[in-house]
Amino acid sequence: MEISRLLLLKQLLADKKCFDLRKSLCEINDERNKNYNLLYTAINEQQYDEDGKLVKGFRGAILEGSSRSGKTWASIYIIIWICLYKETNCTVNILKETYNEFKTTLYNDFKKILPLFNLPNPFEKAEEIKGFKIGKNKINFLGADKPSKFHGAQCEYLYVNEMLPVKQAVFNQAKMRCTKFWWGDYNPSVTVHYIYESVITRDDVTFLRTTLLDNPDISFAEKNEILSYEPWKPGSYIVKDNSLLCYNKKTGKVEVISSTNQPPPHLENIRQGTADEFMWKVYGLGLRGAMKGVIFEHVDYIDKFPDLAYTYGLDFGFTTDPTALTKCAEDEKNIYIELLCYEPIETPGAINEFFNALGIEKNIPITADSSDKYTSNHNGTVEMVRDLRGFGWTIKKVSKTKSVMHWLLSMKTKKIHIVKNHLHKKAEIEQQMYKMREIGGIAINQPLDKYNHMWDSARYRHMSYHTVEIDEKMTKTPQQLGLNY
């Protein structure tokens, strides 16, 4: 009799715990995970007119954050809330890069969470589940590796889990077939992505960045593992606008962390060999940290070009690659760069017109790429530089006497300043993505030939600044070269 009472009491306590947990789904407060609060509020605040057009609230949400910030669990909790309290007969599609990835991630999460709410748990025994139900509401698992699945895959709600690898075309197809609300989450392990350029910029999309410190349910072990990545002493730096700042003793100001401006080190993590700046930025702070192997990792962005003598650097681009023109100046310790052109221009005539419209001075030297050529109907293969000289520009080919790495390392001995003009977003992308080549995950001493157009133009100008060698052919006039204009 005593045993049966204990079992009954245990069941009553379990039922009470489940009841309280279900009830809590309809509440938001400061103690809840911020990701859940955002999704709950965004869905509840939606208002539609008689034609079904959204007139208030958001159509979607992006959850960006560090590892273990509770993005995925908050998403599963919101799906359960939708099925228990919001809808009676809806479809929720969950999208990942591939279907097989569900088996090692969300399968386990649903397996742990569903019993907490006393809901049927098909993940307990089944090895493969394409979908399941909560009440009459259907939850489907879809892999982004098979876009054909989305034709006709309409849903009321869409959740894209770890969405960075999901191609934009697939995401657009899935989103287009979602009639009420969609959301996605990711760890920001890359710095260039369509999410940053065309999703979180929308007025009908709400955005939240969180870290592990925003997750009240993170375990002690998980928290300590991520904290072990921290390379700097806690409290010695701040995060502002996706940048890390610390006090610079030399200038007496709070400035961006760089190779010459570092906070005090985290001695314990360094001693144990766990400190990792990249891992801490992405998985600890939830920042779009620079990728590993970035060549110009630390640059300073300034509001205007300084009052210094300057010249130009030019890297040719054609059908797909951009033509990059940079205005550059430097002294013993600094290099200043302003990106003035960043789009494909195929002919010297078009470049001439663009330079005139831009107000480039014909008497200011331009150092250009020496290898790019174009095909002219009249002259056959003719060097771009010769034709631009014919238009009156003071332009010469760069003299490539030393390796690319030599000149990149030469530039890295100075502090790089980039002007924040209308093209500075393009400059930021190149700064964050121009990196060393990797073979088998090991970086080699060779730059990747990608995201380097601005850097190449600035490098040509830097090479010219440090050498007086000029291609003798470029000292001749167009008439001496037999060209008529």
Q: What's the mean pLDDT in 183-193?
A: 85
pLDDT of residue 146: 66
Residue entry with tokens 């911020």: 34
* Domain presence at residue 481: no
**Which amino acid is located at 126 in the chain?**
A
For 135-166, the pLDDT digits (tens) are 999 999 999 876 566 556 799 999 999 998 89
pLDDT surpassing 50 at residue 191? yes
Residues 76 and 90: their CA atoms lie apart, in Å, by 15
Q: Which of 219, 149, 374, 191 is nearest to 289 (CA)?
A: 191
Residues 32 and 129 in one domain: yes
pLDDT surpassing 80 at residue 306? yes
Q: Which of 81, 93, 86, 72 is nearest to 138 (CA)?
A: 93
* Domain presence at residue 9: no
Q: What's the mean pLDDT in 49-54?
A: 81
* Domain presence at residue 230: yes
pTM over 0.75: no
With cut-offs at 50, 70 and 90, classify the pLDDT of residue 105: confident
Of 185-194, 426-435, 437-446, the range with the lowest mean pLDDT is 437-446
Which of 185, 212, 239 corresponds to the end of one domain?
A: 212
Higher pLDDT, residue 151 or 223: 223
* Domain presence at residue 207: yes
* Domain presence at residue 1: no
Phi, psi (degrees; rounded to nearest 5) at 400: -90, 85
Residue entry with tokens 């070009």: 305
For 374-415, the pLDDT digits (tens) are 544 443 334 788 889 999 999 998 877 788 888 998 999 899
Residues 51 and 178 in one domain: yes
Residues 279 and 351 in one domain: no
Residues 147 and 280 in one domain: no
* Domain presence at residue 10: no
Q: What is the mean pLDDT of the chain?
A: 85
Q: What's the mean pLDDT in 241-246?
A: 82
Residue 250 lies in domain: 220-284
Higher pLDDT, residue 46 or 466: 46
Which of 284, 314, 339 corresponds to the end of one domain?
A: 284
With cut-offs at 50, 70 and 90, classify the pLDDT of residue 331: very high
With cut-offs at 50, 70 and 90, classify the pLDDT of residue 432: confident
Residues 69 and 174 in one domain: yes
For 338-378, the pLDDT digits (tens) are 999 999 888 889 999 999 999 999 999 999 987 655 544 44
Q: Which of 229, 170, 164, 165 is nearest to 200 (CA)?
A: 164
Residues 388 and 386: their CA atoms lie apart, in Å, by 5
pLDDT surpassing 50 at residue 443? yes
Residues 138 and 54 in one domain: yes
**Which amino acid is located at 310 in the chain?**
Y
pLDDT of residue 471: 42
Partners of 415 in the β-ladder: 334
Q: What's the mean pLDDT in 200-227?
A: 88
pLDDT surpassing 50 at residue 317? yes
* Total number of residues shown for the chain: 485
pLDDT surpassing 60 at residue 483? no
* Domain presence at residue 234: yes
Q: Tokens in use for 108? A: 């386990």
* Domain presence at residue 28: yes
pLDDT surpassing 60 at residue 209? yes
pLDDT of residue 133: 95
Higher pLDDT, residue 76 or 372: 76
* CATH number of the CATH domain containing 400: 3.30.420.280
Residues 198 and 201: their CA atoms lie apart, in Å, by 6
pLDDT of residue 346: 81
Residues 140 and 251 in one domain: no
Q: Which of 136, 124, 59, 46 is nearest to 91 (CA)?
A: 136
pLDDT of residue 290: 58
Residues 156 and 94 in one domain: yes
Q: What's the mean pLDDT in 270-289?
A: 84
- % of the chain beyond a pLDDT of 70: 88
CA 191 to the chain's CA centroid = 3
Residues 456 and 431 in one domain: yes
- Complete DSSP assignment for 205-265: EEEEEE-GGG-TT--HHHHHHHHTT--B-TTS-EEETTEEEEEETTTTEEEE-BTTB-PPB
Residues 39 and 160: their CA atoms lie apart, in Å, by 13
pLDDT of residue 482: 43
pLDDT surpassing 90 at residue 51? no
With cut-offs at 50, 70 and 90, classify the pLDDT of residue 325: very high
Summarize the chain as % helix, strand, coil (round to 5). Answer: 35, 25, 40
> How far from 232 is each of 192, 213, 276, CA to CA, in Å?
26, 17, 10
Residues 375 and 347: their CA atoms lie apart, in Å, by 9
Residues 145 and 93 in one domain: yes
Residues 262 and 410 in one domain: no
Half-sphere exposure of 61 (CA within 13 A, CB side): 27
Structural domains in the chain (count): 3
pLDDT surpassing 60 at residue 479? no
* CATH number of the CATH domain containing 154: 3.40.50.300
Which of 228, 260, 284 corresponds to the end of one domain?
A: 284
pLDDT of residue 481: 39
Residues 343 and 459 in one domain: yes
Of 301-310, 312-321, 349-358, the range with the lowest mean pLDDT is 312-321
pLDDT of residue 472: 39
